[in-house]
Amino acid sequence: MKIVIAGAGEVGTHLARMLSRENHDIVLLDDSPEKLSNISSDVDLLTIAGSAHSFEDLKRTGLVKADLFIAVTPFEERNVLACSMASYLGVGRTIARINNSEYLQERYKAKLKNLGIHELIYPESLAAKEVVASVKQTGTRQLIEFSGGKLLLLGVKVRENAPVLNKTFKELSLENEHILVVAINRNNVTIIPKGTDFIQNGDIVFFVTTRLEQQHVFELTGKKIFEVKNIMFLGGSRVAQKAIEKLGDQYRIKIIENDLERCKKMADKFGNALVINGDGRNLSLLKEEGIEKMDAFVATTGNSETNILSCHLAKTFGVRRTIAEVENLAYMNLAEQMDIGTIINKKLNAASYIYRFTLNAEISKVKCLTASDAEVFEFTAKTNAKITKKTIKDLGFPQEAIIGGTIRRGIGYIAHGDTKIEVGDKVVVFTLPSGIKKLEKFFK
Amino acid sequence: MNFKIIIRVLGFLLIIEGIAILLALLVSAIYNEHDLNAFIISAGINLSIGGLIVLTTKNTNKNIGKREGFIIVTLVWVVFSFFGCLPFILSGSIPNFTNAFFETMSGFTTTGSSILSDIEALPHGILFWRSIIQWLGGMGIIVLSLAILPVFGIGGMQLFVAEVPGPTPDKISPRISQTAKTLWVIYLGFTITETILLWIGGMTVFDAICHSFTTMATGGFSTKQASIAYWSSPFIQYVIIVFMFFAGTNFTLSYLALKGRFKSVFKDEEFKYYGLFIIGFTLIIFIGLLVSTQLNAEPAFRDAFFQVVSIITTTGYATADYLKWSPILTILLFSLFFFGGSAGSTGGGIKIMRIVLLLKNSYYEMRRMLHPNAVIPVKFNKHSVDSKIITNVLAFFMLYITIFGLSTIIFTIIEPDVESAMGAVATSLGNIGPGLGNVGPAENFLHIRPFGKWFLSFLMLLGRLELFTVLILFSPAFWKR
């Protein structure tokens, strides 16, 4: 597939790198030649220096023959305009990055489509969603819902008090019919489990289960669920603002922000939150504001180091739930080892979101698992797709991938070896990056 | 340093060389001459060593970094020359190892300097092998392997940049392998067209193929001792002039032209200067020849045109002995030794683009002195050129001239004649072929002492890989972690 990406910022370069590795033809457009020369030396792509909203420059990218145009410059209006122009020039599909949730409303969708903007991506909103999910769902590292919660994927860190320790997966699946382990992340390596493997202390285990059996997972892993009431936000970034907006009124929220102007704006916007002007790295300030009484601590300043360290600090004060925004990919494993609960990365979120448009199968959801490079997909089994021909154990499914479950007529089922997938089922598949290409042919 | 991947890539490339030898073997089989065994053994050696390496280095980390890239590219050319001289030695055509290596390196680097004094006596297989090594070296061994082998992971671009001439290699399409494929297809297309035209012009099929190979590579090996002068047909000479011109043009432009975008071709600044230099030098030498010799207008024009294009594109074919011209014309032609083809062509030398950038920069420098606070960037193709590139070009030029000077001094120890020494060094460094004095177009390099031949071989490699790729291996910083 030929893909043109406008904007060589963090999201753009990450996407380019990832998609180029998947053998897509990437053309990257940016107005800064320095940024382009940095990436072109180690990624196999074509770079073009030029403006995203110039017809001439867009034409030079060979847009006419491209299948997908992704505008991810930092400027919303530029992205929207660029997508519109790209559509006019004849690109198959366009995706614009926006900073304004207004565009996401259903009633404007047709208008935007008329302008030639097919999909919208709002990375801050996606990140905020993760923050909210992780505040609401204590006990897990990650929670992904499929088809409105018919199936759940829970990522749980297993500690020494967990009853599930040292049991082989074979035993586990015999004892618990409605729970399936799809992957474990051990020492930063993601493993697709086989029957004889067992769970060790310190693993992050990804379970697929239904809503009813969810509690059982927590019992197995020895997690106690607690109610979050007090939340402290460090940094009033757009992610934080979005998250506070989504959280609503039932929480007691404190925001610590360095910039006075921003504080004023936040105080104006969120009447129910207490906005404190001060440096979040100031220990006495944190103590004064009662950090030890907090149930959750969310660090989303623009600085990954500050976020990691302050979450670490919050942990030592006994905050049970900490969430850090880590934009520096190299720090993600480090943060994981430092036991910072949930790690949020805008880039990865955005990239997974866009990723689905590059695959040749019908996909309703793609998510990247935190602290691992694996992805989980929700495919729809089409008529005559290879996946519907045989039972799972006879399919010859790639080793790097595993089927977690299916949703048939609104009811979620956990997959077993003799499950047969029917046309129209939604199938939750978990895969390592090397397996993605192989999956495509099963669902075509 | 990931030595394993270096070895593995070399293994793959040896297989490619083995396959190329099989082509020569085919020719030898057709003519059924005594060199058949030599090719069978050489192909066997290449294929088995290459195959063995590839099989034993499976599961290697595919990551090729900058350092590995430079080592691979340099080593490939050396290793190729070592294995490529096997047919010459085994067939007894060039029994001496030093001579055979010199001939092969001269071939791969598309220099075209030869130690052979009786080319016509060689069997067809060997002549074909001489031509095909130039053809492979012309577009580049690495570029070929990028086009057909999927062995390179992310490191492909490193290798591409290290091998393709010019200060800023362009990609035609997003994928490096696709770019390499396109380049080779154009290259192949030109070669086939030229073969047909030469055949129509009266060459035998064999000669037509061999000469097309060496023209498009801007190599200059001929199947005749007298080079192109053997054919007195003006048609053949003009055809060769045209294709030498194409070979010395940036292949990206040929690609654009084939897509019908002639406007962007003629707008290209390097192409304009390339054309201007050729026209200018041709006219001056043409007039010079008219005045100083008894030649008629057409032959004088043809001789001037042919020699100018042959030297500026660094091909090195000869239809006239420029050493017999009046000294002013000879020195004019010698100055062309330092021009070279366009960036991204198969030609060697300094390259037109660098020359133009240097001249422009020097001219702007004067304006900068008049207006100390003015911002005056060097413009090329209507865009200002990054000062990093200017620095790089200046460093390249400095190195080129220094190496030329130093090498000439060293070479005069071996070859006491200054003129010959200058000619030999300049022609090797510029990958041209003939030099001055006793290595002129009518002479050959056989009489040079072994040390001199090794030294010139090294210079050819330096020139083909544009200095930095090779020299960087000799810098202490390269080996420090």
Alpha helices in B109-150 (DSSP H): 124-139, 141-148
pLDDT tens for each residue of A369-381: 665 667 788 888 8
pLDDT in tens, chain B (481 residues): 778 888 888 888 899 999 999 999 999 999 988 888 899 999 999 999 999 998 888 877 777 777 888 888 899 899 999 999 999 999 888 889 999 999 999 999 999 888 988 888 889 999 999 999 999 988 888 788 777 766 555 566 777 777 777 666 677 777 778 888 888 999 999 999 999 999 999 899 999 999 999 999 998 898 988 888 888 889 999 999 999 999 999 888 898 898 888 888 888 888 999 999 999 999 999 999 999 888 888 999 999 999 999 999 999 888 888 888 889 999 999 999 998 888 888 888 898 989 999 999 999 999 989 988 888 888 888 888 888 888 989 999 999 999 999 999 999 988 888 888 999 999 999 999 888 888 888 888 888 889 999 999 999 999 988 888 889 899 888 888 6
Which of A112-126, A212-226, B247-261, B445-459 shows the lowest per-residue confidence on average (mean pLDDT)? Answer: A212-226
Amino acid B281: pLDDT: 94
Examine the domain organization and report whether A360 and A310 are in the same domain.
no
- Residue tagged 């021009």 (tokens): B339
Confidence of residue A142 (pLDDT cuts 50, 70, 90): confident
Confidence of residue A36 (pLDDT cuts 50, 70, 90): confident
> How many structural domains does chain A have?
3
d(CA B325, CA B332): 11
A45 within a domain of the structure (yes/no): yes
pLDDT tens for each residue of A227-242: 888 899 998 888 888 8
A25: three-class secondary structure by DSSP:
strand
A110 within a domain of the structure (yes/no): yes
B105: three-class secondary structure by DSSP:
helix
Q: Which residues of B touch A5 (CB under 8 A)?
A: none
Amino acid B306: pLDDT: 93
Q: Where are the beta strands (DSSP E) in B305-384?
A: 379-380, 383-384
Examine the domain organization and report whether A30 and A116 are in the same domain.
yes
Examine the domain organization and report whether A287 and A378 are in the same domain.
no
A348: CB partners within 8 A, 6+ apart = A14, A329, A368
| Binary contact (B157, A26; C-beta < 8 A) | no
d(CA B29, CA B128): 12
Main-chain dihedrals φ then ψ at residue A25, nearest 5 degrees: -90, 115
d(CA B355, CA B126): 37
Examine the domain organization and report whether A287 and A370 are in the same domain.
no
Q: What is the CATH number of the domain that holds A367?
A: 3.30.70.1450
pLDDT at A144 over 70: yes
Residues in chain B whose beta carbon is closer than 8 A to a beta carbon of chain A?
Answer: 154, 156-158, 171, 173-176, 178, 386
Nearest chain A Cα distance for residue B258, angstroms: 16
What is the pTM assigned to this prediction? Answer: 0.80
Nearest to B38 by CA among B83, B73, B76: B83
Amino acid B18: pLDDT: 93
d(CA B222, CA A30): 48
Q: What is the CATH number of the domain that holds A265?
A: 3.40.50.720
B45 within a domain of the structure (yes/no): no
B212 within a domain of the structure (yes/no): no
- Return the structure tokens found at A425: 């089922």
Query: Which residue in A has a C-alpha nearest to residue B150's C-alpha?
Result: A23
Amino acid B453: pLDDT: 92
B225 within a domain of the structure (yes/no): no
Amino acid A245: pLDDT: 85
- Residue tagged 């004067």 (tokens): B366
A299 within a domain of the structure (yes/no): yes
Helix axes B124-139, B176-200, angle to 10 degrees: 140
Maximum distance among all Cα pairs of chain B, rounded to whole angstroms: 73
Sheet holding A411-414, edge to edge: A363-368, A375-380, A426-431, A401-408, A411-414
A62: three-class secondary structure by DSSP:
coil
Examine the domain organization and report whether A381 and A434 are in the same domain.
yes
d(CA A203, CA A134): 19
Residues in chain A whose beta carbon is closer than 8 A to a beta carbon of chain B?
Answer: 2, 20-21, 25-27, 33, 40-46
For B436, the domain range is 388-479
Please give the distance of CA A381 from its chain centroid, rounded to a whole number.
23
- Return the structure tokens found at B227: 């080079």
Examine the domain organization and report whether A264 and A373 are in the same domain.
no
Beta bridge partners, B227, equal: none
A333 within a domain of the structure (yes/no): no
Nearest to A12 by CA among A40, A1, A23: A40
pLDDT at A392 over 80: no
Examine the domain organization and report whether A12 and A96 are in the same domain.
yes
- Residue tagged 């504080």 (tokens): A263
- Return the structure tokens found at A242: 């979005």
Residue of B70, B152, B154, B158 to mutate, testing the A interface (most A Cβ within 10 Å of its Cβ)? B154
- Return the structure tokens found at A174: 């015999």
Domain closes at, from A121, A152, A187 = A121
A298 within a domain of the structure (yes/no): yes
Q: What would you report as the CA-atom Rg of chain A, rounded to the nearest whole angstrom?
A: 22
For A419, the domain range is 355-443
Give me the amino acid identity at B449.
R
Amino acid A370: pLDDT: 63
B358 compared with A187, residue with greater pLDDT: B358
> How many structural domains does chain B have?
1
Examine the domain organization and report whether A359 and A288 are in the same domain.
no
B409 within a domain of the structure (yes/no): yes
pLDDT tens for each residue of A44-63: 888 888 898 888 888 888 88
